[in-house]
Structure 1
Amino acid sequence: MTRRTAIVLALVTLVVAVGAGVGVLVLRGDPAGGTASAPPPVTTTKVTRTDLSDSRSLDGTLGFGPERVVKGAGAGVVTRLPKVGDTVVRGTALYWVNDRPVPALFGGTPMFRTLDKPGLVGSDVRILWDNLRALGYHTGSQPTRSKDGTKLPAGQAVLTASLVAAVKKWQQALGTEPTGTIAVGQVAVLTGPVRISAVKALPGDPVAGELLAVTEKVKLVTVPVGATEVGSIKVGAAVAVTLPDGAEIPAKVASISHTVTGGGPDAGAGQGSLPTVNVLVTPVKAADVAKLDAAAVQVLFTTTVHRNVLAVPVGALVALREGGHALQLTDGALVAVETGMFARGLVEVSGAGVTEGLDVVTAA
């Protein structure tokens, strides 16, 4: 072997040795690139059976509700008026005209004529008959037909001799002349027990005009609700009222106004208020609000309830590429589901293989 050949062989051996060394260094010196990372831990939850409810909280005002104006009728001079804060019940004097009391009756029809002739038929007669009965007077029975033989319409009554006799006894108890007749302006018809909220007239004013303003007798909460949303609220529905101190008290929907306020042609463009309807809510226990005369409160309405349904946290839903949703099982398999109500971070689910207690993956 020549000297030149020996040198070449030595160089080749050195290159191979260096290459092998580099290879070993690459394989052992980069564990991050050569070793697979552990899969991240998953969070699981169970499919539960529960009741879901759709609720919303709205601003309300605690007080005695909206005012209603009381107008006098007939002729005469006002001689006495009640005080603000007085309460008026059935059969008691609301105000005085020519030193004669004008008592309050409850109903929905004002006295629009003089009731003086037996045989008169009408809703005003029914108001008189209902109220005297409620006051404990013997009004006798009501016929089913009028004198001409026609059937009495619903909500109407006949001025019978027994009813006239009851009117006389009532007038005598009031200290007025027992004539047995009721003229326009001699009684005031209200929708129910009320509280005097304002006195608009003075003694000496003519009776024909605005005399008083009244509110409900008990405290309630007035809640303006969007006119397009009020249809989901029902009279008698249970609600929860949160007071200024954070206490939550039970209440119920007492009435829903038929009058829409606000709105107009520019309401939807930021140029005015949206149309609303007042919903009146009454606390179940008057003592819960006895110490408050007026306050801003929150009212929680529950509009829809789905009972005994299967539900999971919203984070457990998997959106499918082809549309719809699924739940991911702990082994990675997907189970297609139909979704229902969303409420309180939960969603109603149903579908084949979806059962109570099923373990599914959810977002952490």
Structure 2
Amino acid sequence: MRAIRVGLAVLLVTAGGLAATRVFTGRAPATPAEAAAPSLAVATVTRADLANSRMMPGTLGYGTGVTVRGSGPGIVTQLPTVGATVRRGKPLFRVDDQPVLVLFGDTPLFRALDKTGLTGRDVAELRENLAMLGYASHRVRDNDVLDAGLLDAVHQWQPDVPISPARAVVLDGPGRVSALTAHSGDPAAGDLFTVTGTAKVVTVPVEPTDTVRPGAAVSVELPNGTTTPGVVSTISTVAGETQPGETPKLSVTIKLGKPADVAKLDAAAVRVRFADQVRKQVLTVPVGALVALREGGYAVQKRDGTLVPAKTGMFADGLVEVSGDALTEGLEVVTTP
């Protein structure tokens, strides 16, 4: 087999297999071609995971915010501070100097819940919230029926506050106020502030045609150069707003595996490494160990100069996946330094 070392213009192979040592016995100085000949080293065939990866810019923060809107008449008399925690059953802001309480759920309040006989998902949501706050009610019929027991629980919790769209707001869970969009004195019926989650996450804008999948493991490079693990938790289904001429992007949210690594950062520009393809526990050698055969294909060279045919697979991080009948883990092969 005639062979050419991959990435080298010239490969010097002696009868013993390697030009590893040169002994000077009064011969003429080396020619420029000899002086430029690259040295060789020995590597071991190892078993490892390989991954084709790409780096994409991202942002560390608290994730995409949800805008909280007020309802009903009145004037905003107090807003929360940025960074304030949103808690179930607690006042979040004030309208006409009256507290607006927080409930958790996915059905916004659209009517006052103050009369027995009302039915609906908003009633079941109120019952669940009161139970979580320690005001469990004995239901006469179903969860979604406002009966006397539920109304009594409401009065125990808030004797003087009616549960209505003007006096309560429904959010999807605990959160953190990230930005204010209104001021004291503004009408209550409008956008007031933005709420995010309480855990720090990384968001990455991607093309709608991107192949990122939920559950994929990633590595996040922090501003100080260290990395921390993460996993793709959600991918938005609606493209965000862009500048004229830009392609709309989806937002990938990454949950961090070690939150303590970012405890001192509130927001930062980061880079995220996505693995597009992963090969688990395959035989690998450095790319410099490949020898291109003139008749086609590749081989690796043993210490004694013998060429061993090798079928190549994935290339990643300076390594290449190899397979072949004569290739085994631990085999020593010649490579470039």
Instruction: Give the TM-score of the pair, scaled to structure 1.
Output: 0.69
| Alignment partner of 1:45 is 2:43 | yes
Letter in 1 for 2:145: L
Aligned partners of 1:85 and 1:91: how far apart in 2? Answer: 18
Query: What CA deviation, in whole Å up to 9, does each residue of 1:197-236 have, x standing for no partner?
Result: 333334443321112223333433332233333x43424x
Partners of 2:161 and 2:167 within 8 A in 1: no
Partners of 1:262 and 1:274 within 8 A in 2: no
Partners of 1:84 and 1:198 within 8 A in 2: yes
Partner residue of 1:18? none
Letter in 1 for 2:88: R
Partner residue of 2:307? 333
| Alignment partner of 1:255 is 2:234 | yes
Partners of 2:310 and 2:322 within 8 A in 1: no
Q: % of aligned pairs identical? A: 48
| Alignment partner of 1:234 is 2:221 | no
| Alignment partner of 1:352 is 2:294 | no
Aligned partners of 2:290 and 2:124: how far apart in 1? Answer: 62
Question: How far off its partner does 1:309 sit?
Answer: 1.6
Query: What CA deviation, in whole Å up to 9, does each residue of 1:125-156 have, x standing for no partner?
Result: 3432332232222144797xx7xxxxxxxxxx
Q: Using a 3 Å threshold, how does the CA distance of structure 1 residues 188 and 323 change in structure 2: closer, same or farther?
A: farther
Please point out which of 125, 131, 144 is paired with 1:158.
144
Aligned partners of 1:294 and 1:319: how far apart in 2? Answer: 49
Partner residue of 1:15? none
Question: How far off its partner does 1:71 sit?
Answer: 1.0
Letter in 2 for 1:244: P
Letter in 2 for 1:327: V
Query: What CA deviation, in whole Å up to 9, does each residue of 1:179-207 have, x standing for no partner?
Result: xxx33333211222222233333444332
Partners of 1:262 and 1:272 within 8 A in 2: no
Please point out which of 174, 179, 182 is paired with 1:198.
179
Partner residue of 2:134? 136
Query: What CA deviation, in whole Å up to 9, does each residue of 1:296-330 have, x standing for no partner?
Result: 22233445443222111122334455654443444
Please point out which of 139, 161, 166 is paired with 1:176.
161
Greater per-residue helix proportion: 1
Partner residue of 1:22? none
Higher RCO, Cα 8 Å, sep 6+: 2
Aligned partners of 2:234 and 2:327: how far apart in 1? Answer: 42
Letter in 1 for 2:212: S
SS of residue matched to 1:168: helix
Q: Using a 3 Å threshold, how does the CA distance of structure 1 residues 361 and 247 change in structure 2: closer, same or farther?
A: closer
Q: Using a 3 Å threshold, how does the CA distance of structure 1 residues 136 and 306 change in structure 2: closer, same or farther?
A: farther
Letter in 2 for 1:54: N
Query: What CA deviation, in whole Å up to 9, does each residue of 1:231-279 have, x standing for no partner?
Result: 43424x5544333233334444443322323679xxxxxx944443222
Partner residue of 1:214? 195
Report matched runs for 1:52-131 at 5 Å. Answer: 52-115=50-113, 116-118=115-117, 120-122=119-121, 124-131=122-129
Q: How many residues align?
A: 302
Aligned partners of 2:168 and 2:150: how far apart in 1? Answer: 16
SS of residue matched to 1:306: strand
Gaps of 5+ in 1: 1-30, 147-156, 265-270
Q: Using a 3 Å threshold, how does the CA distance of structure 1 residues 332 and 256 change in structure 2: closer, same or farther?
A: same
Partners of 2:104 and 2:129 within 8 A in 1: yes
Q: Using a 3 Å threshold, how does the CA distance of structure 1 residues 94 and 342 change in structure 2: closer, same or farther?
A: same
Question: How far off its partner does 1:92 sit?
Answer: 0.9
Gaps of 5+ in 2: 1-27
Letter in 2 for 1:335: P
Q: Using a 3 Å threshold, how does the CA distance of structure 1 residues 273 and 201 change in structure 2: closer, same or farther?
A: closer
